[in-house]
Structure formats: C-alpha cells, structure tokens
Amino acid sequence: MLEERGLPTTVLALVLPQVEKTRPPRAVMTPFMLGRPLGEPNDPAFQRRVLMQALGLLERTNGPVILEHFPDDNPSWFDRPDWVPAVTLPAPGNPVTSQEWQAALQAELALVFPVWERFKARFGRTTVGLSGQPPEAWPGFATAFLDGELPTVPAHATPALALRFLSDDLKALYSEAVQADGGPPSARQIDGWFWRQTVAGQLLIALRKTAMASENNALKTVGGRFFVPAPFVPA
C-alpha cells in the first residue's frame, strides 16, 4: 500500500524464508543475529555500510521484487582468542529441587551483581528492567514454576509473560556483566559462556522443559519460543 501511494520501501531481512514468502518490493538479506539487523553494536562504519546498501535499493526500478544479500559474514561469530569473561563463576553443579535451584542462583547472582554494576558504570546504560521486579526476587519467582506454581507480578498480566520477561532480564544481566572489562567478545562466546557455564543458563533450560510440559498453553508457547535459543536446547 505504501508503494502504491508513491512511497518506496526497503527491508533489512534476517530470516530468508520469511522474506521469500512475504516478497517485499526491496530487501537486503543480512546474515546477522536476530535483533542486530545492522550488525554489531559500537561499529558505526559497518552499520553504515549495511544501511547504505539497503537505501541503495530505492534507486532500483527493476522489480517488482529485488532481493540482495549483504556480502560479509556475521561479525558476531568471530571469536576473540584473548577474551576472558569479566566474572569468574564456579561450575553450575547439578541442582535438582526448586530449593536447590533457588539457592544456586542466589549464590551466583551475588557474584554477578558487582560485575554488572561495573558494566553500568563503564557504559552508562543497561537493558535490564523488563521483569517488573527487583533482581533479588528472581530466584524465588523463577524456581516456583519448577514446582508447578504460576506466579505473576503487577507489571505483567499473566505468569507466562512474567517468566518470559524475567528470562530476558537474566540473559541481559549476564551478557552485560561478562563484558564489564576489556574488549568485546563475539556473541557466540557470550552465548557459550552463559548456556554452558552458568546456573542461570541451566535454570532457563530446566524452565523450558517445565514450560513445555505445562498444561498452561501460554507458558508452553513462551517457553518453547523465548527461553532458550535453538542451538542450546538439549537434544
């Protein structure tokens, strides 16, 4: 409808099957992580290249569908060989009961919080804050779901949304804390560290399993879609 009214459009696409199905008039397919359509943060020169390629499609008239691919690989997947996590944590162990999970997460958060404060002081920002509750409440709230409870908070209408946004806050807090010092690691390094070496990552995997077995359809949906990225879902 925009095109029919004389307003040309262009799309930055991250999921090739989706853009092939929807067939927008113009699109640049970028091989980046979801949420990063212009590439890595803090790299304005690279981001400008992506944006200029997308805007350049507006000069093309050989449609009706124009699809280009950005030529460079995803910079998120180039590891820094010298990277060391800014926070040192003990091995996650093997919690079983909700009480064990709660205690393990509380102990781990006590180590992560001070490093996260360093991140905020260094960069002057944080993306943590979606859960609608203070981080000290996260362990008890999250682990209640392991016992079949369905708690919620005033900020969110349903237990499913409350747990979804708490999981987002957990991932954000840890990914920020681990970057408090030194140069930025690759996204793959952050993911590998979080999902394989932290209690928080292991708890989200356990919560996904609980959600997928729940009779609450909303919890099942958010658990399957939002808690754990596909590469780290146990086989």
Q: How are strands ordered across the β-sheet holding 66-69?
A: 11-13, 26-29, 66-69
> Taking 80 as the threshold, does the pLDDT of residue 76 lie above it?
no
In degrees and rounded to multiples of 5, residue 28 shows phi and psi of -110, 120
Between 92 and 65, the more confident residue is 92
> Taking 80 as the threshold, does the pLDDT of residue 96 lie above it?
yes
Between 2 and 202, the more confident residue is 202
* Domain definitions of the chain by residue range: 3-76, 98-232
Average pLDDT over the chain reads: 93
66 vs 57: CA distance, rounded Å: 8
Determine contact, residues 98/144, Cβ cutoff 8 Å. yes
Between 189 and 63, the more confident residue is 189
Per-residue confidence (pLDDT) for residue 147, from 0 to 100 = 97
Highest mean pLDDT among 11-15, 156-160, 185-189: 156-160
Share of the chain above pLDDT 90, in %: 71
Cβ burial of 169 (10 Å; 0-12, 13-18, 19+) is buried
The residues, any chain, with a CB within 8 Å of residue 25's CB and separated by 6 or more, are 3, 8, 9, 10, 63, 64, 65, 66
**Structure tokens belonging to residue 184:** 């930025």
Highest mean pLDDT among 39-43, 95-99, 227-231: 95-99
Would you give the DSSP letter of residue 30? Answer: -
- Position 215 confidence tier, pLDDT thresholds 50, 70, 90: very high
- Contacts within 8 Å (CB) and 24+ apart, 217-221: 218/158, 218/159, 218/160, 218/161, 219/145, 219/150, 219/159, 219/160, 219/163, 221/160
The residues, any chain, with a CB within 8 Å of residue 159's CB and separated by 6 or more, are 145, 150, 151, 152, 216, 218, 219
Q: Is this structure's pTM higher than 0.85? A: no
User: What average pLDDT score do residues 36-47 get?
Assistant: 86
